[in-house]
Structure 1
Amino acid sequence: MTAAPAASLPKSSSARKERVAQATARMPLTAHAQLVPWAERDPVEILEEQGRTRVPELLPVRYGRMLASPFAFYRGAAAVMAADLAASGSSELTAQLCGDAHVSNFGFFGTPERKQVFDLNDFDETWPGPFEWDVKRLAASLEIAGRENGLRRKQRRAITVGMVRAYRQSIAEFASQSALDVWYARAELQPGLPRLAKELPKAARETTRKVLSKSRVRDAAHAVAKLTTPEFGQRRFVSDPPLLVPVRELAPELADDLTRLLDLLLVEYRKSLPPDRRVLIGRFQVVDMARKAVGVGSVGTRAWLLLLVDELGNPLLLQAKEAAESVLAAHLPWPALDNQGRRVVEGQRLMQASSDILLGWQRVTGLDGVERDFYIRQFRDWKGGYEIETLDPATLERLGQACAWTLARAHARSGDPRDIALYLGTPPGPVPADGAADGPGAVFDEAVGDFAVAYADQNERDHAELVAAVESGRLPASPNL
């Protein structure tokens, strides 16, 4: 379930020219400004449909979090935007998509070499599709965040158009590099992060420094200290319903059965790991488990925390998160893998420069007899990010450019960056020293900037519909959780 690799496409210049010409005919650059609402559009109905397979008692938490603001709504409404994008047409130039590439889904984490990197960090919706869908999701998120932060229209425009320009120029750079150079590219924070720390004002540099310092202490030991308590000589998860509920409290009469089920999930998950990682995970044993509500859009999916310790008592915290079908799958036919957890893992490995060494997947049959897919990863391995709603214009602008570079690299790994670069009107090659945006490519920048404004307006209307649905009693909501 990966995007069509560049190696499988004809390499002749005439074949490439024909592909680009066909993409341009399907979707001229100016057409990217268009937002075409789908027939009988009802965003609340989409959220209700998603909720039918989720944990019922957590749905009020999800809706409550989405009520907080238009930006919070947008974070949870990837399925709504997928339907909107499908109705608006595409270039059909395929890459592996994040599927939910809003600005809060980029951040920091630790590599196996224990370096900090900046990368995409959410792949629940990953799926092959037209590259520009990710770009538009990111652009709209910056416009929405800018509105929430009280930025002026010209400031927001500079941020969104600057991000699209950075994507276009970055994909052109990657198009001129060898396949190995693209694969090795990553945004290390040692010695510095490209396009983020560059020329930041003093206040913004201090914000970045604090975010990085905070992320470095967000590891298993930190999470264990926060989420567990000593009990009879062993750490146990604290109880904080409905956000964190130990297995022993979910259904006391079924606690033993549920524990055995989660033990089975862990045992079978090991089979998805490379042999050396199986040896590593074999040095740990599970000592407690709990259900945890996570994120905004993910709330209600089944997510478990598993506390493990080695023979010296050192902790390892794993998260087993339910993987449902991507919100893009209904709109973009593609041969599916046999496991949605595997879809997430393989999509993540394809798009990220360096992935969690314990990333794996599994399918289990629940106590209700329903088969569900999961992916498993370390919980909070130096993971961190910006509080988007608090950022000043300069930091948000640089962050958008860092996201653009990261997204372009992810697309260049899985798609054909030369096709994309030529379609965008920017021949493969390094970015000019002056960063000039003149030429045909600027048409795409401005068009997506227009789309971001139109979609931010639509998102505000959608958020208002959610508010109305909660006030009318159509949907339950528990704010501030």
Structure 2
Amino acid sequence: MTVTTGSGSLADPATRAFRRDSKRAGTHEQSSRADRVALGKDARRVTPRESHAEFQADGSRDPVGLLLEQSKSRVPELVPIRHGRMLLSAFTFYRGAALPMAADLATTPASGLQVQLCGDAHLSNFGAYASPERELVFDVNDFDETLPGPFEWDVKRLAASLAVAGRDNGFRAKHRRKIVLAAVKAYRKAMRGFAEQTFLEVWYAHLDIEEAIWQFRSQMKAKGFEATEKMLAKAHTRDSTQALRKLTRVVEGRRRIISDPPMVVPVEEVFPDVQASAVYEQIRAVLGKYRRTLQSDRRHMLEQFTLVQAARKVVGVGSVGTRAWIVLMDSGDGVEPVFLQAKEAQPSVLAEYCGRSKYTNQGERVVAGQHLMQAESDIFLGWTHMPSPDGVDRDYYVRQLKDWKFSVPIEQSAPSGMVVYARVCGRTLARAHARSGDRVALAAYLGRSDAFDHAIADFAETYADQNERDYTAFQRAVEDGRAQATTDI
């Protein structure tokens, strides 16, 4: 991918100089407010807000080639499943195509204002889950690609996802634009609000999803509100106990994970040529390393549970093919289960364009980014390193498999409901960025007008066009055998 040198792009000398100067300014909270406001307004001169509407694909770009190259580090027999899920629609393709978009974003105007990026902030990577206080909260919930970078990349990834999903749902152009504008306006206004708050107020801010749904009730149809209330109630049942019923059964008096290849495969079947005792000895050693990454009270809590069984599990769309394991643990009496998920962490798709992570362990990169962006994170969130029988050592991050998690069913949303959801996502992303970036400079850059909003809305539609072209190219690659896909799983 050739990176263009248009005004404000990462390759532009003026932008690089501006970024160096902004880093020299020191820690955000240690600079004067006037200097931080000036930094944001100076960024407008380097990269006008209106310029974010610009996007023109490099004629030599090969999105299919990027996806196939990315697949080389994944489990070969699972890659066709990933491709099959991406074939379902233009939106599912978009969900799996974070790497091609990262390459594209590197060619677009960049303000020079840095934050901790989610790296894959599409609308399905926001959702609800349980806080440590057992409240249902809403936040960004996928951090596989997290890395520091230009704040607008996350905003563009979210905005374009709204446009792509809107097209899949058959929404008219004016409705799609209203949805995208709602998200970006919410982001901009929330950032202005966070700029007026103390750092600790920003740090403690979180969104109680039940309170938010109640707040937006007047803007939702009764049917949509009732459906959302049912989803919230159902979310409270999604925990390790539910996972135990769904994923296991008792065999000869022992709790065992049900084999359902290729979706769920017990570790004994994944490595049939290795003694089970040797496999589990290694798993226990890996769990011991992982426990040391937890804070002391949570380490103590996890030590009350013992390993029962492990299995490989297929998860997500974009993540399919990366190695993901579920680990069943129990307190010893057989009635108090905990399901952990260990998910392989590979280098971020942003690394080639934003620079390598300062963390040598990619699992630690994911965990550090999640802690920085999320208001409240899973109590068992940690990382580890695992040797593999193929001779390649791999990094992992670990969390609970299910803990009141749910996401809005995008394909069932009406335009009015998507407007509400877009606002929630926009505000949530702003809070995540305000924790790591200079919220005062960001607010000054965004300003009070809707110039940035409309520029991003223009970009979103332009990129939705590009996504459709890439989706078509991917379909052709499957048809001609360049890419393998399985659509019946």
Q: Give the structure-2-normalised TM-score.
A: 0.92
Checking the alignment, whether the CA contact within 8 Å between 1:246 and 1:291 is kept in structure 2 is yes
Equivalent residue, structure 1, for 2:444: 422
8 Å contact from structure 1 (residues 38, 83) kept in 2: no
**Conserved? CA contact 1:195–1:402, under 8 Å:** no
Q: Structure 1 12/278 Cα, relative in aligned 2: closer, same or farther at 3 Å?
A: closer
User: 188, 209, 215: which one pairs with 1:189?
Assistant: 209
- Is the alpha carbon distance of 1:311 and 1:294 closer, same or farther for their aligned partners in structure 2, counting shifts above 3 Å? same
Tell me the equivalent position of 1:453: 461
CA distance in 1, matches of 2:143, 2:31: 30
Number of residues paired by the alignment? 465
The offset of 1:311, in angstroms, is: 2.1
Q: Name 1:361's counterpart in structure 2.
A: 383
Give the letter aligned to residue 415 of structure 1: G
- Residue 338 of structure 1 deviates from its aligned partner by 1.8
The match for 2:347 is 325
1:388 equivalent in alignment to 2:407: no
**Cα pair 2:322 2:343 within 8 Å, conserved:** yes
Specify the SS of the correspondent of 2:375: coil
> Contact 2:243/2:402 (CA < 8 Å) preserved in 1?
yes
Match of 2:420 in 1: 398
Match of 1:444 in 2: 452
* 1:224 matches 2:224: no
Q: Which amino acid aligns with 2:326?
A: L
Q: Which residue of 2 aligns with 1:174?
A: 194
State the SS of the aligned residue for 1:235.
strand
SS where residue 134 of structure 1 aligns? helix
Match for residue 137 of structure 1?
A: 157
Query: Within 1, Cα distance between the matches of 2:205 and 2:165?
Result: 28
Cα distance in structure 1, aligned partners of 2:354 and 2:32: 27
Q: Which residue of 2 aligns with 1:438?
A: none
Question: For residues 63-82 of structure 1, what are the structure 2 equivalents within 5 Å?
Answer: 63-82=83-102
2:351/2:357 contact within 8 Å kept: no
Correspondence for 1:112: 132
Name the structure 1 match of 2:296: 275
Q: Which amino acid aligns with 2:380?
A: L
Paired residue for 2:283? 262
Query: In structure 1, how many angstroms separate the alpha carbons of the residues matched to 2:292 and 2:359?
Result: 17
Aligned match for 1:465, one of 456, 459, 473: 473
Q: Report how far residue 96 of structure 1 moved.
A: 0.7
> Is contact 1:142-1:160 (8 Å) kept?
yes
Matched letter for residue 166 of structure 1: A
Q: Which residue number in structure 1 is paired with residue 15 of structure 2?
A: none
Cα deviation code 1:202-235 (max 9, x no counterpart): 1221121122122111100101111111112121
Report the residue type matching 1:298 in the other structure. S
The C-alpha deviation readout for 1:98-142, integer Å capped at 9, x for no partner, is 000000011110011111011111000111111111111111111
Please list the CA deviations of residues 320-367 of structure 1 after superposition, one character each: whole Å capped at 9, or x if unmatched.
000001111110125521210001001101111110011000012211
Deviates more, 1:32-41 or 1:316-325: 32-41
1:297 to 288, 309, 318: 318
Counterparts of 1:63 and 1:387, CA distance in 2 = 21
User: Alpha-carbon deviation of 1:16?
Assistant: 2.6
Task: Give me the whole-angstrom Cα distance separating, in 1, the residues matched to 2:397 and 2:435.
Answer: 22
Match of residue 3 from structure 2: none
The change in CA–CA distance for 1:328 and 1:198 in structure 2 (over 3 A counts) is: farther
Are the aligned partners of 2:147 and 2:357 in contact in 1 as well (CA < 8 Å)? no
| 8 A contact 1:194–1:402 mirrored in 2 | no
Confirm or deny: 8 A CA contact 1:258 1:367 kept in the other structure: no
Specify whether residues 379 and 196 from structure 1 end up closer, same or farther in structure 2 by C-alpha distance, changes over 3 A only: farther
Query: Counterpart in 2 of 1:88?
Result: 108
1:430 aligned partner: none
- Partner Cα separation in structure 1 for residue 55 and residue 285 of structure 2: 46
Q: Take 1:177 and 1:193, find their aligned partners in 2: how far apart are those partners?
A: 24
Query: How far 1:163 moved relative to its partner?
Result: 0.9
Contact 1:195 1:401 in 2 (8 A): no
Between the aligned partners of 1:406 and 1:103, the Cα distance in structure 2 is 11
Judging changes above 3 Å, is the alpha-carbon distance between structure 1 residues 444 and 255 closer, same or farther for their aligned structure 2 residues? farther
Aligned 8 A contact 1:37 1:88 in 2: no
TM-score under structure 1 length normalisation: 0.93
The 3 A distance-change label for structure 1 pair 5 and 206 is: farther
The answer as to whether partners of 2:341 and 2:401 remain within 8 angstroms in 1 is yes
SS class of match (1:307): strand
**Matches for 1:22-61 after TM superposition, within 5 Å:** 22-38=42-58, 40-61=60-81
Structure-2 change in CA distance of 1:192 and 1:34 (3 Å): closer
Helix, strand or coil for the counterpart of 1:87?
coil
Contact 1:4 1:414 in 2 (8 A): no
CA contact (8 A) 2:83 2:484 kept: yes
Q: Which amino acid aligns with 1:152?
A: R
Aligned to 1:431: none
| Other-structure match for 2:229 | 209
Q: Which amino acid aligns with 1:229?
A: R
* Matches of 1:197 and 1:92, distance apart in 2: 38
Amino acid at match of 2:48: P
Answer whether contact 2:40 2:443 (CA < 8 A) is retained. no
Distance 1:236 1:279 in 2: 25
- Give the 5 Å matches for 1:369-384: 369-384=391-406
Rate the CA distance shift 1:198–1:92 in 2: closer, same or farther, 3 A: farther
2: CA distance, partners of 1:277 / 1:453:
45
